[in-house]
């Protein structure tokens, strides 16, 4: 069949934009920061064409705040940033967790801490995505290594945000964000798109915005519609009104964690390469997974039984899946561009943490297949 | 509104009372004044979104039967910008305290004014941080006592009106809780104004500001609002230029409102595509 005009040669940031548009993005607020800026630039072009809203706010905090406000009027919302901006967003991000407001935050990672390495690659924000806010809550963070997957997980980010009423973080990285490659935009309907779950409670019946249904989901009512309720970042009761009643506090915090942690296996997305008989398993994500896959392919051609598990859901961490997949491996090598943020999770997951090793690079350069091969040969006792 | 008689019960969430404000706090007067303004404007409760930040003043949003968004410290205007731009038919009202509006929130304040987005910002100025226990605010002024200024403050204060004017707010007014009826009229005009409106309302915190600075009880503090303020351009000013002026300082209907300007952007973008 002749292709429609749906094949593009784009940056990863544009793939993210196209995914967001496909998912029905209505409102974007952002503040320019390298290497995420192209997301804002393309959306400034794309959203008004569809009668939708783009605003460049005065800072990252304001951007996060604005998308929360816009989400409450019934819109699908997003912001995009990189490390320092992500740090600024954390307080409002925690607010979105507490008030259970669907939103998507793309963090195209750069090196850190502080201003760090703006134009170079890093995967250093894995832990910040999980623990950047204060207090306990759970969070969803997704990642991808190629543009087709960036598109797909961006759509999925919106779906998960709506399903679980939570902020979802897209942990992209500079190489994926700025690299150009082919993207085939799926036809409408080809990928599932989850819409906002709205309450069916009629006009004059008492609506409890924070009373979960039996399935744990919380139907929303848009600001401006018939149900008027209070949204707060304080612990709150089923009407959304502040409460410090120990029972209310306990129930709400438990709910915030459980709604995500109890569904890890539904949320978990990953890809497997040559895993059937793999003796050595590479676990990776984002652009470093590309090097891991490349290296495994080369080694396979030489007869080595190497497999790759590419994680696309980083949080909640798919502990059980990793444990099962790695049960029979001689060694597990985690490939990432930080000091070892996912490797800690993998060590927690597997039966024998002593067989988990780290191949990393932290100098702003993409980790190469050779870098990984060097570490693997040392593990295998074959020398460099 | 079908009922003409004002009944506060139509506008509050009785379930959430009693409120947390101290006896003698001026915030209750602001609340009542605001509700009367909303009533007299005949607004539908479903079209109002009240967004607030953190502090005593910000609790006002929970007590009213509007859509309410009680957010984080200083960011109320940024949240409200998202609400307003995504659904421009809504009336956005943002009550704020001193710190919320002009310390942590100062940046959002000037940028909301610069954009001229149709939000009504009410600065409930009691010159002190009440909820955290009486620390000085950017509106305290020099020589005041506060828990973080035991030797009196050395920080200069802002003039909310001058700041709002300079940042481009198209409606700027000031009143006090002593002049509740006047405050109500000013609020009505502010809410009705299409564009960014700033209404500063001087209010008293007898618990911290009044006690620390020996300004007496609530009634005595309100008495000060009566004697220390005059209507804009009053002759009394010539004799006593230190008096604080009340009234509407700016009312500019020429400047394009942000959401309307955005609609024009959409029009342009869609044409380019067609």
Which residues are CB-contacts of A266 (< 8 A; sequence separation ≥ 6)?
none
Q: Do A13 and A145 fall within a single domain?
A: yes
Domain stops at, among A143, A169, A184: A184
For chain B, which residues lie within 8 Å of any Cβ of chain A, measuring from their own Cβ?
A: 13, 15-16, 45-47, 49, 51, 61-62, 65-72, 75, 78-87, 89-90, 107-108, 111, 262, 265-266, 268-270, 272-273
CATH number reported for the structural domain that contains residue A367 in this entry:
3.40.50.920
Q: Do A28 and A151 fall within a single domain?
A: yes
Question: What percent of chain A is modeled with pLDDT above 70?
Answer: 99
pLDDT tens, B113-124?
A: 999 999 999 999
Show residues of chain A in contact with B85, CB under 8 Å. 27, 53, 55, 66, 70
- Min Cα distance A315 → chain B (Å) is 25
Q: What is the ipTM of this complex?
A: 0.97
Query: Does residue A3 carry a pLDDT above 90?
Result: no
Residue linked to tokens 């020398």? A383
Number of domains in chain A: 2
Read off the pLDDT of each residue in B202-231 and give the average, rounded to a whole number. 96
Q: Is B81 within 8 Å of A62 when comparing Cβ atoms?
A: yes
How does residue B1 score in pLDDT terms, banded at 50, 70 and 90?
A: very low
Number of domains in chain B: 1
Task: Tell me if A295 sits within 8 A of A313, measured CB to CB.
Answer: no
Query: Does residue A334 carry a pLDDT above 70?
Result: yes
**pLDDT at A5 (0 to 100):** 79
CATH number reported for the structural domain that contains residue B83 in this entry:
3.40.50.970
Query: Does residue A259 carry a pLDDT above 90?
Result: yes
Query: Does residue A1 carry a pLDDT above 80?
Result: no
Mean per-residue pLDDT over chain B, rounded? 96
**Does residue B1 sit within a domain?**
no
Query: Does residue A215 carry a pLDDT above 90?
Result: no
User: In degrees, to the nearest 5, what angle opens at C-alpha B152 toward C-alphas B133 and B203?
Assistant: 50
- The rounded distance, in Å, linking the Cα atoms of A28 and B170 is 26
Domain stops at, among A184, A206, A221: A184
What order do you get walking across the sheet with A313-315 strand by strand? Answer: A53-56, A27-30, A77-81, A103-109, A167-173, A140-142, A313-315
Residue A268: phi and psi, rounded to 5, are -65, 125
Q: What is the DSSP string of B213-243?
A: TT--SHHHHHHHHHHHEEETT-THHHH-TTS
Read off the pLDDT of each residue in B214-221 and give the average, rounded to a whole number. 96
**Does residue B113 sit within a domain?**
yes
Q: Find the closest chain B residue to A92 by CA distance.
A: B72
- The rounded distance, in Å, linking the Cα atoms of A166 and A208 is 18
pLDDT tens, A105-130?
A: 999 999 999 999 999 999 999 999 99
pLDDT tens, A34-65?
A: 999 999 999 999 999 999 999 999 999 999 99
Show residues of chain B in contact with A49, CB under 8 Å. 269-270, 272-273
Task: Tell me if A177 sits within 8 A of A36, measured CB to CB.
Answer: yes
pLDDT tens, A352-361?
A: 999 999 999 9
Comparing CA positions, the residue from A210, A264, A225 lying closest to residue A100 is A210
Domain stops at, among A184, A200, A226: A184
In this structure, what token pair is assigned to residue B117?
């987005």
Supply the range of the domain harboring residue A313.
269-381
Read off the pLDDT of each residue in B131-159 and give the average, rounded to a whole number. 96
Query: Does residue B2 carry a pLDDT above 70?
Result: no
pLDDT tens, A363-372?
A: 999 999 999 9
Which of A224, A227, A234, A236 best tests the B interface by mutation, with the highest count of B CBs <10 A? A224
**Does residue A253 sit within a domain?**
no
Q: Do A180 and A273 fall within a single domain?
A: no
**Which position has the higher pLDDT, B231 or B15?**
B231
Which residues are CB-contacts of B189 (< 8 A; sequence separation ≥ 6)?
B171, B173, B197, B248, B251
């Amino acid at each position: 069949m002749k292709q429609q005009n749906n094949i593009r040669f784009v940056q990863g940031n544009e793939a993210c934009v196209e995914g967001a548009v496909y998912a029905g993005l209505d409102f974007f607020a952002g503040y320019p920061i390298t290497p995420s800026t192209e997301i804002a630039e393309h959306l400034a072009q794309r959203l008004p064409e569809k009668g939708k809203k783009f605003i460049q706010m005065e800072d990252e905090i304001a951007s996060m705040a604005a998308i929360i406000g816009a989400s409450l009027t019934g819109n699908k919302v997003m912001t995009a940033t990189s490390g320092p901006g992500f740090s600024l967003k954390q307080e409002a991000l925690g607010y979105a967790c507490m008030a259970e407001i669907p939103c998507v935050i793309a963090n195209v990672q750069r090196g850190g801490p502080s201003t760090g390495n703006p134009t170079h690659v890093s995967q250093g924000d894995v832990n910040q995505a999980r623990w950047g806010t204060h207090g306990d809550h759970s969070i969803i963070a997704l990642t991808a290594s190629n543009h087709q997957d960036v598109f797909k997980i961006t759509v999925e980010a919106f779906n998960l945000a709506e399903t679980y009423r939570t902020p979802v973080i897209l942990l992209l990285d500079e190489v994926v964000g700025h690299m150009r490659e082919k993207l085939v935009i799926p036809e409408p309907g080809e990928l599932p798109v989850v819409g906002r779950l709205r309450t069916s409670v009629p006009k004059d019946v008492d609506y409890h915005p924070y009373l979960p249904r039996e399935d744990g989901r919380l139907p929303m009512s848009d600001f401006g519609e018939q149900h008027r309720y209070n949204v707060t970042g304080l612990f709150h009761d089923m009407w959304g009104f502040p409460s410090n009643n120990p029972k209310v506090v306990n129930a709400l915090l438990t709910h915030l964690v459980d709604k995500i942690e109890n569904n890890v296996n539904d949320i978990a997305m990953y890809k497997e390469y040559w895993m059937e008989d793999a003796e050595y398993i590479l676990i990776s994500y984002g652009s470093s997974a590309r090097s891991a896959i490349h290296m495994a392919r080369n080694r396979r051609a030489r007869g080595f039984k190497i497999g790759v598990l590419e994680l696309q859901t980083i949080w909640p961490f798919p502990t059980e899946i990793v444990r099962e997949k790695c049960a029979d491996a001689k060694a597990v090598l985690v490939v990432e561009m930080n000091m070892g943020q996912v490797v800690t999770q993998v060590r927690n997951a597997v039966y024998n943490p002593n067989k988990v090793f780290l191949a990393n690079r932290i100098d702003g350069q993409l980790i190469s297949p050779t870098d990984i091969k060097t570490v693997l040969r040392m593990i295998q006792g074959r020398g460099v | 509104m079908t009922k003409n008689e004002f009944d506060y019960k139509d506008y509050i969430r009785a379930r959430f009372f009693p409120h947390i404000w101290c006896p003698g706090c001026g915030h209750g007067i602001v609340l009542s004044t605001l509700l009367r303004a909303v009533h007299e404007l005949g607004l539908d409760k479903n079209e109002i979104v009240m967004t607030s930040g953190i502090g005593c003043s910000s609790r006002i949003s929970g007590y009213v039967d509007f859509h309410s968004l009680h957010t984080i410290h200083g960011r109320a205007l940024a949240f409200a910008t998202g609400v307003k731009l995504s659904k421009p038919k809504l009336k956005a009202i943002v009550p704020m305290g001193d710190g919320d509006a002009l310390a942590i929130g100062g940046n959002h304040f000037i940028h909301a004014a610069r954009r001229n987005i149709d939000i009504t910002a009410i600065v409930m100025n009691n010159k002190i941080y009440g909820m955290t226990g009486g620390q000085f605010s950017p509106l305290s002024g020099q020589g005041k006592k506060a828990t973080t200024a035991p030797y009196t403050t050395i920080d200069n204060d802002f003039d909310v009106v001058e700041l709002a004017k300079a940042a481009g707010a198209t409606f700027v007014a000031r009143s006090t809780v002593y002049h509740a009826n006047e405050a109500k009229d000013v609020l009505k005009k502010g809410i009705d104004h299409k564009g960014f409106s700033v209404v500063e309302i001087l209010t008293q915190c007898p618990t911290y500001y009044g006690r620390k600075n020996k300004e007496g009880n609530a009634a005595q503090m309100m008495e000060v609002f009566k004697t220390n303020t005059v209507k804009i351009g009053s002759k009394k000013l010539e004799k006593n230029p230190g008096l604080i002026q009340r009234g509407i300082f700016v009312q500019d209907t020429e400047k394009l409102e942000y959401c309307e300007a955005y609609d024009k952007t959409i029009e342009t973008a869609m044409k380019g595509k067609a």
